[in-house]
Chains A and B, each alone.
Chain A
Amino acid sequence: MEFRANFFLHAFFDSVWVLVQIGVLQVYFQYTNDISGWTKMEVFALVGAFRTIKGLFDPFLRPNLLSIPGRVNRGQFDYIFAWPVNSQFVVSCAKHLYSDLGSLVSGLAITIYALSNLNLIGNFYTWLTLGIGIICGTVIFYSIFFFFMTFSLFTVRLSATKSLYDILSNLFRWPTDILTFGNRFTEALIVPLAIVSTIPSKIFLGKIPGYYLVLEIFITMLIFALVNRFWQFAIRHYTSASS
């Protein structure tokens, strides 16, 4: 709360942004009730779920990950690697930015609104799969982003990190079914991205059977483990002015 004006401005712009996004969805669904198999409330539920994932990622993980390339560039990792703790944990979770918590609130609000319109609000299965889906989605979102940040240990300068974040969060905000154009080539390209928000949403909306959840959890753990291996490999290549 040190910079209060900044905090409230942030909250204000965040809510304006949510309203714009909802307005845009209203425009799209003015023309049809169904875009590539998704109804309006189902898209709302997905948008809400991904906002919730962002609400967990942005305040607790994002500020740390965004600072990785800059710290590599300036050689500030020397001390961290000397500490007797897991270096991936320290570089991912040390700093928090609470002004970004707004997404968590608006995300949950949109999800609850959509679920009540879909008559799923009292359904225990929905809430259970939603909770697990959001945790898996956050871990995968983190892993993918962390993977790109780890690249900076090899390239030394990487300043386009915010743009990279924009690309990813733009992609995950929509059901991947809409993005494939029914084309085989794009489908193969896009489907791996579905694991962040589309597949979890399909599970809690009951669009695909519940056993996909087991697959989702398995893939989440696999990706997390692979990214961790990559990080371990990368830091062995880390060099700074003094090491």
Chain B
Amino acid sequence: MAVLDAVEYRTDILIFVLSGVAQPIILMSIWLGIAAASKSAPMSHDGFVQYYMAYLVVNLWVNAWHSIFIIPKIRLGDLSPYLLHPIHYFTVIFGENIGEKIFKTTVVIPIVVVIFSIFRPDIPNVSWFQISIFAFSLALSIAITFIVGVFLPFRYTLSFPIEVLLGQVSGQNIAIGLTMQILWLTAFFILVNTLWSCGLKRYSASGA
């Protein structure tokens, strides 16, 4: 459904993707300016390019934008039909969310390729171990942001998977990071489920 909607209204999706991409590219160019002017910059030129290339893709996947659509659905009573469906409402919006992300990725990848061909950074040596940890950590991040949105718990939603991919964390710290992610996820999962079932008991709409 979401993929169909995205293909149907291409201009909209293109603008949505560009707005997500504009800010990181601006930040990257500022940091590149700093890296060129200062020896004490936190990362090297290549380091910043690698970081923001990974950021563009990871940020797209750990972003969740459904909450602004749920609120009017509750207010206007459009939620009622979904409650009659045999699957949980969360599953429906999770599917929509993933569908849109798949489509947006096809737009973001060419942008990453363009950035790569302009700056030609070194490609860091990424082991299969790093990639598998990255994939696992990214999946946890997607689940966390889906449940709570983008604000909490800062580092474990966006920065941590990128750090793993670029090899900036190692050994014990990977284990600590993953444990933190799982803990956050479990805590929020319980909290949101409780809130949702309490909320549904209070929910009323005409005809419901």
Q: Check A181 against B38 for contact (C-beta < 8 Å).
A: no
Q: Check B11 against A35 for contact (C-beta < 8 Å).
A: no
C-alpha gap A28/B40 in the complex (Å): 11
C-alpha gap A9/B104 in the complex (Å): 33
**In the complex, chain A residues whose CB is within 8 Å of the CB of B12:** 157-160
Q: How far is the CB of B31 from chain A (nearest CB, A)?
A: 8
In chain A, residues 160-195, which have Cβ atoms closer than 8 Å to a Cβ of chain B?
160, 163-164, 166-167, 170-171, 174, 178-181, 183, 185-186
Of the listed stretches B17-25, B168-176, B199-207, chain A binds B17-25
Chain B, interface SS category: helix
**In the complex, chain B residues whose CB is within 8 Å of the CB of A155:** 11
Q: Check B41 against A179 for contact (C-beta < 8 Å).
A: no
**In the complex, chain B residues whose CB is within 8 Å of the CB of A157:** 9, 12
Q: Check A34 against B37 for contact (C-beta < 8 Å).
A: yes
**In the complex, chain B residues whose CB is within 8 Å of the CB of A28:** 30, 34
**In the complex, chain B residues whose CB is within 8 Å of the CB of A31:** 34, 37-38, 40-42
**In the complex, chain B residues whose CB is within 8 Å of the CB of A35:** 30, 33-34, 37
Q: Check A32 for interface membership: any CB of B closer than 8 A.
A: yes
Q: Which residue of B lies closest to A148 (CB)?
A: B15
Q: Check B87 for interface membership: any CB of A closer than 8 A.
A: no
Q: Check B26 for interface membership: any CB of A closer than 8 A.
A: yes
Interface size on B, residues (CB 8 A): 23
Interface residues on A, range: 20 to 34
Q: Check A174 against B30 for contact (C-beta < 8 Å).
A: yes
Q: Which residue of B lies closest to A186 (CB)?
A: B118
Q: Check A36 for interface membership: any CB of B closer than 8 A.
A: yes
**In the complex, chain B residues whose CB is within 8 Å of the CB of A178:** 29-30, 33
**In the complex, chain A residues whose CB is within 8 Å of the CB of B37:** 31-32, 34-36
C-alpha gap A34/B34 in the complex (Å): 8
C-alpha gap A10/B47 in the complex (Å): 38
Q: Check B16 for interface membership: any CB of A closer than 8 A.
A: yes
Instruction: Provide the A6-43 mask, 1 if CB < 8 A to any CB of B, else 0.
Output: 00000000000000000000001001101110000000
**In the complex, chain A residues whose CB is within 8 Å of the CB of B18:** 163, 167
Q: Which residue of B lies closest to A182 (CB)?
A: B36
The one of B9, B16, B19, B38 in contact with A32, judged by C-beta atoms closer than 8 angstroms, is B38
Q: Check B58 for interface membership: any CB of A closer than 8 A.
A: no
Interface-central residue, B9, B18, B38, by most chain A CB under 10 Å: B38
Q: Check A179 against B16 for contact (C-beta < 8 Å).
A: no
Q: Check B29 against A171 for contact (C-beta < 8 Å).
A: no
Q: Check B143 for interface membership: any CB of A closer than 8 A.
A: no
Q: Check B158 for interface membership: any CB of A closer than 8 A.
A: no
Q: Check A164 against B15 for contact (C-beta < 8 Å).
A: yes
A-B contacts, 11 listed (Cβ < 8 Å): A28-B34, A158-B12, A160-B16, A160-B19, A163-B15, A163-B16, A164-B15, A167-B19, A178-B33, A181-B32, A183-B118
**B interface residues with partner A (beta carbon < 8 Å):** 9, 11-13, 15-16, 18-19, 22-23, 26, 29-30, 32-34, 37-38, 40-42, 118-119
**A interface residues with partner B (beta carbon < 8 Å):** 28, 31-32, 34-36, 155, 157-160, 163-164, 166-167, 170-171, 174, 178-181, 183, 185-186
Extra contacts besides A163-B15, A167-B15, A185-B118 (15): CB < 8 Å: A28-B30, A31-B41, A32-B34, A32-B38, A158-B11, A159-B9, A164-B15, A166-B23, A167-B18, A170-B22, A170-B23, A170-B26, A178-B29, A180-B29, A181-B32
